[in-house]
Amino acid sequence: MAKAHKISGVKPLGSYRENARIILPEKVEEVYTWEPFVRDAARREELHNMRISIKRLRYTMELFRVVYEFPEECSKDAVAADDKRFAEFFAIIVDLQEILGDIHDCDVVLQVLTDYTCQSASDAVVLGSLSATGKAGIDRLIDQTRETRKADYKKFLEKWDQLSAVDFKRKLLSFFLT
């Protein structure tokens, strides 16, 4: 797992609000460092790292939500609008995290099933009890999981393309900075 990027320019004695504008954009940039790899379904490690970066962004958004619930411009309408927009951005981030989580779960399951098959085969050779039917259930699960992974990845890519088409990154950064 890739380490969280070091955040520069944090001001411990500055306001929480001021620091939200420093920290949140850095978390967004961390997510987008993985963007060059999203079109390759085989980049399991990079997709996993993107999921972790998105999770970090999500948790950081939770931390700073209060800043957007009580914006500096305190008209009732402005407060409601900021809160609503925050909730919309947040829902998208959670959605991305969950889709990438599903992909990662499939990768883990496939790894476990493959390892287990290899281990069972080598144990069976030692014990002289290798049986073709002994792994039919495992083989079926491997096939099912591969199909699920393919569908999850397609769903992720469609979502990512939709977001890119509406300039999601710029809008998110602009929201955090205003």
Partner 1 sequence: MVAEARIAAVSPDETLEACARKIIVRYFHQMMSYKDGVRVGRDIEFVHDMRVTSRRLRAAMDNFADCFPKKPFRRHYKKVKAITRTMGAVRDLDVLINRFQKTLDNLPETEQTDIQKLIVHLQREREEARKPMLTLFTKLEETGFETQFLEFFVGKV
Q: Which residues bind partner 1 (CB under 8 A)?
A: 4, 7, 10-20, 23, 55-56, 59-60, 62-63, 65-67, 70, 105, 108-109, 112-113, 116, 133-138, 140-141, 144
- Nearest distance from C-beta of residue 169 to partner 1, angstroms: 20
169, 32 in Cβ contact below 8 A? yes
Task: Render the burial of 158-170: b for 16+ CB within 10 Å, e for the rest.
Answer: eebeebeeeebee
Of 10 and 161, which CB lies nearer to partner 1 in the complex structure? 10
Q: How far is the CB of 14 from partner 1 (least distance, A)?
A: 6
- Shortest spacing between CB 113 and partner 1, in angstroms: 8
Instruction: Tell which residue, 71, 23, 67, 28, has the closest CA to residue 50.
Output: 28
Nearer to partner 1, 73 or 167 (CB): 73
Taking the complex as a whole, how short is the minimal distance between the CB of residue 60 and partner 1, in angstroms? Answer: 6
What's the closest the beta carbon of residue 161 comes to partner 1, in angstroms?
27
Task: Count how many residues are written for the chain.
Answer: 178
Q: Is 149 exposed, middle or buried (0-12, 13-18, 19+ CB in 10 A)?
A: buried
Of 21 and 157, which CB lies nearer to partner 1 in the complex structure? 21
Find the Cα–Cα–Cα–Cα dihedral 84, 88, 94, 100, rounded to 10°.
-170
Cα(140)–Cα(148) distance, rounded to whole angstroms?
12
Rank residues 161 and 177 by Cβ distance to partner 1 and give the closer one.
177
CB nearer to partner 1: give 65 or 169.
65
Coil, helix or strand for 71? coil
